[in-house]
Amino acid sequence: MKCVKCRDRAAVHIRRHNSAFCQGCFQEYFSNQVARAIKEDHMLTRQDRILVAVSGGKDSLALWDVLSTLGYDTGGLHIHQGIFEYSASSYEKTTRFAAERGLSLITIDLAAEGDLDIPGVASSTRRTQCSACGVIKRHYFNKVAVEGGYTVMATGHNLDDEAARLLGNVLHWQTPYLAVQSPVLEATHPQLVRKVKPLYRLSEYETAAYAFLRGIDYIVEECPFSHDAIQLQYKEALNQLEHRSPGTKHSFVLGFLREGRKAFAEASAVQLKECLSCGYPTTSDICGFCRLQEQVHKAKSGLRN
């Protein structure tokens, strides 16, 4: 098969676009898809200061690579979750990536933030690791961005992530989540920054290929707690559909964004208040992060008494 652009030997085949690219043209295609998402969805401008959430995995490192290559003003944020070898290795890949490219990186060590490491939080509260991790990460993503004067927060969610999340939300008719499932979430409060997902048009396979071709050293292992198994099952189901009918994920996600989301957004507009404890926006009196932190403190002081 030949590259559809330069007729050289193809290295990456993209069935849903019925096309194939050589190594160089694929990197150009990848970066064009990111640029297109940024432009069409009004994600970023050259004036923005962008905080990129980097886990050390292929998606977020590919995102940081492409945004900095496109000349955007970026800084990284890595959250050290305290998940044994997995976190040690994620931290190592992230710090090396930043150092090699001279990019600035902020690291938050959850164990040092009042015992908020994920294994500890899960055992001292009755939460699953994944739900605690989600609440904690979202809190720090926003807080670090606001306090650091960043105007946008970018994550590495790709098309497969968005399709799996959409499938889960539809299967359970999670209408409040459907209302806010979007590659861009505008800041609706002075203590919130805009959240963007510039890779949402690119599949997991494409981000892996990009990371490989760019020589990015990323952590391959999944989080040992990522028995967010249901999310993985949704991905598997979607992969089967995609295999038979290339383009399924793309039309599912982009069709929803074009046709469906607005209806849910209008139906469930929420009123934001400020958390009585930390001051960050929330829909209840005390935000999810502060409730979780309180549970951890109670469990720890119970242990000490």
Q: What is the binding site for ligand AMP (CB under 6 A)? A: 53-55, 59-60, 77-79, 81, 137, 155-157, 161
**Residue 82 or 125 with smaller CB distance to ligand AMP:** 82
Q: CB within 8 A of 220, min separation 6: which ones?
A: none
Q: Does 208 bind Zn ion (CB under 5 A)?
A: no
Which C-beta is closer to ligand AMP: that of 10 or that of 161? 161
Asked if 160 contacts 249 with a C-beta cutoff of 8 angstroms, the reply is yes
On whether the CB atoms of residues 12 and 114 are closer than 8 A, the answer is no
Q: Which is nearer to ligand AMP, 55 or 169 (CB)?
A: 55
* Bridge partner residues of 274 (DSSP): 281
Q: How far is CA 229 from the centre of its chain?
A: 17
Could you say which of Zn ion, ligand AMP, none residue 290 binds, taking C-beta under 5 to 8 angstroms by partner kind? Answer: Zn ion
- The separation between CA 17 and the C-alpha centre of its own chain, rounded to angstroms, equals 24
The only residue of 22, 202, 287, 296 in contact with Zn ion, by rule CB under 5 A: 287
Q: Which does 277 bind (CB under 5 to 8 A by kind): Zn ion, ligand AMP, none?
A: Zn ion
Nearer to ligand AMP, 10 or 53 (CB): 53
CA separation for the pair 61, 65 (Å, rounded)? 6
For Zn ion, the binding residue among 49, 277, 295, 299 (CB under 5 A) is 277
Alpha-carbon span 39 to 52, nearest angstrom: 18
**Nearer to Zn ion by C-beta: 98 or 275?**
275
Q: Which residue has the tokens 């981000």?
A: 207
Q: Is 296 in the site for Zn ion (CB under 5 A)?
A: no
Return the closest-CA partner of residue 83 out of 128, 114, 54, 120: 120
* DSSP label at residue 9: B
Task: Identify the residue among 50, 62, 253, 275 touching Zn ion (CB under 5 A).
Answer: 275
Binding status of residue 118 toward Zn ion by CB under 5 A: no
Which chain residues interact with Zn ion by CB under 5 A?
275, 277-278, 287, 290
